[in-house]
């Protein structure tokens, strides 16, 4: 009996998954609960465990391929191991006569003939292959006699020969990156071997755009931000006096803000809530996301239970999450559960900006640069379905007071 292993849905927002790595190969026996593959989705890599026991019969999705949630990625033949099924059972009586094993004759091997390959005379080719060869000045029949083209020849055979004859290996890679046709380059640059420099010069002269693939992390970000942007939201723009916060390279302004905001969220339960159509899902603790860029990718891992943690613990956790993001080791658990995210671009000299609420959360705080007096522009974006304008204003007012509370700041510094 065949059992389909489907692309799982690890979260409510997951729509597609990518098979990062198969840990089992076709023909392997898999125990229930054994990890058979690693799946990348929602900016994290998760382990896919088997819910059944049996033989991994066929892998349907190769490593690196993306498929929608619920689509089959492998087939399993349910059952026990063959050696377990065929294990002989002991006879009911203890006395057994020695019976010589039957002499088995070796099976006769019947030689099989390989399928005959029909070779057509030179000159046979598809119409487009003929046309392409003529345009490129190739002697189709001669090349078939020399064995450099098959008979019959098709367009892909002629194109392959053109690539081999006119392009260096590096130039062939650039053809794919810029989505160029080999025959167009040969017409534009005749009577020469086209190398990397020649092709790049042609691309620059013609203003041809380069094809950049969208990673699975970026696809997830694009999908979630597109959903977030259409939700009813509003902004509150304020200038904060952050001069009382003694941040440095070890405990940065971002670390301080995570802690201060997390403490403030305990007084405003809507900032700890998620909208679920018919109800709000209210978390008891403050779970704060922090936006961080790693190369071309953007992540927002979540610091859980900020209200229970001190500054040093928060700073250490942020550094560990940053390292995991750089190594591609963030788990789904570390990316989920947040209701509010902090994005700090002030360190890059940005005065102020708006930010898009991460999908499923209710607020994002965009922090601009501090001036010489410690003043900073901060933008709050709220999900109006959860946090109305009145509660949003009270939350901002509370934060403005807390960052100037010297006793509170002094207490946090000691913890």
Look at domain 217-414 and name its CATH class: alpha beta
pLDDT at 33: 86
Domain boundaries defined on the chain: 2-81, 127-206, 217-414
Identical fold for domains 2-81 and 217-414, yes or no, is no
pLDDT at 117: 47
Whether the bond between 176 and the residue before it is cis, its omega within 30 degrees of 0, is: no
Residues 285/305, Cβ–Cβ less than 8 Å:
yes
Strand partners, 368: none
Cα first-last separation, the chain: 60
Residues 259/306, Cβ–Cβ less than 8 Å:
yes
Cα–Cα dist 276/372, whole Å: 44
- What crossing angle do the helices spanning 389-402 and 253-265 adopt, rounded to 10°? 130
pLDDT at 98: 52
Looking only at the bridges linking them, the beta strands covering 29-30 and 54-59 are antiparallel
Give the Å distances, CA to CA, from 229 to 188, 224, 357. 45, 9, 8
pLDDT at 1: 66
Enter the tokens of residue 361.
């959360």
CA 316 to chain centre: 25
Enter the tokens of residue 222.
């694009």
Closest CA to 284 of 273, 295, 298: 273
For the chain, what's the residue count? 415
Three-point CA angle 400, 402, 405, nearest 5°: 115
Which residues of the chain are modeled with pLDDT < 70? 1, 12, 42-43, 81-123, 135, 137, 139, 146, 221, 228
Strand partners, 189: none
pLDDT at 85: 43
CA 361 to chain centre: 20
Cα–Cα dist 44/14, whole Å: 11
Give the Å distances, CA to CA, from 196 to 120, 162, 209, 246, 313. 38, 16, 16, 53, 51
Q: Which fold has domain 2-81?
A: OB fold (Dihydrolipoamide Acetyltransferase, E2P) (2.40.50)
Enter the tokens of residue 6.
């489907």
What secondary structure does DSSP assign to 243-311, as a single string?
Answer: TT----SSS-HHHHHHHHHHHHHTT-GGGGEEE-SSSEEE-SS--EEE-EEETTEEE--EETTGGG--H
pTM greater than 0.75: no
């Amino acid at each position: 009996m065949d059992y389909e292993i489907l692309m799982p849905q690890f979260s409510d927002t997951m729509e597609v998954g990518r098979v990062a790595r198969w840990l089992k190969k076709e023909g392997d026996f898999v125990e229930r609960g054994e990890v058979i593959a690693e799946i990348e989705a929602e900016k994290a890599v998760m382990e896919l465990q088997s819910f059944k026991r049996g033989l991994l019969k066929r892998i349907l999705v190769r490593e690196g391929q993306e498929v929608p949630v619920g689509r089959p990625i492998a087939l399993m033949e349910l059952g026990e191991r063959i050696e377990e099924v065929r294990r002989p059972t002991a006879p009911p009586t203890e006395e057994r006569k020695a019976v010589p094993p039957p002499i088995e004759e070796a099976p006769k091997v019947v030689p099989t003939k390989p399928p005959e390959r029909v070779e057509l005379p030179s000159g046979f080719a598809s119409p487009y292959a003929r046309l392409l060869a003529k345009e490129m000045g190739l002697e189709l029949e001669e090349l078939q006699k020399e064995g450099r083209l098959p008979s019959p020849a098709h367009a892909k055979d002629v194109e392959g020969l053109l690539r081999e004859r006119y392009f260096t290996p590096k130039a062939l890679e650039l053809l794919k990156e810029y989505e160029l046709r080999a025959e167009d380059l040969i017409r534009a640059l005749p009577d020469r071997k086209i190398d990397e420099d020649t092709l790049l010069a042609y691309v620059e002269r013609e203003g041809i755009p380069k094809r950049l693939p969208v990673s699975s992390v970026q696809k997830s970000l694009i999908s979630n931000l597109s959903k977030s942007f259409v939700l009813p939201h509003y902004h509150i723009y304020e200038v904060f006096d952050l001069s009382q916060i003694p941040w440095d390279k070890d405990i940065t302004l971002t670390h301080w803000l995570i802690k201060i905001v997390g403490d403030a969220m305990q007084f405003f339960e809507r900032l700890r809530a998620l909208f679920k159509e018919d109800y709000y899902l209210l978390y008891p603790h403050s779970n704060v996301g922090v936006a961080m860029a790693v190369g071309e990718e953007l992540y927002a891992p979540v610091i859980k239970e900020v209200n229970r943690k001190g500054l040093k613990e928060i700073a250490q956790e942020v550094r560990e999450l940053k390292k995991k993001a750089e190594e591609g080791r963030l788990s789904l658990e570390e990316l989920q559960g947040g209701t509010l995210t902090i994005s700090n671009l002030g360190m890059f000299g940005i005065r102020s900006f708006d930010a898009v609420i991460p999908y499923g959360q209710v607020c994002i705080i965009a922090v601009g640069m501090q001036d010489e007096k410690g003043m900073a522009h901060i933008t709050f974006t709220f999900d109006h379905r959860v946090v109305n304008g009145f509660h949003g204003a009270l939350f901002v007012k509370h934060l403005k007071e807390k960052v100037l509370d010297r006793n509170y700041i002094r207490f946090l510094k000691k913890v």
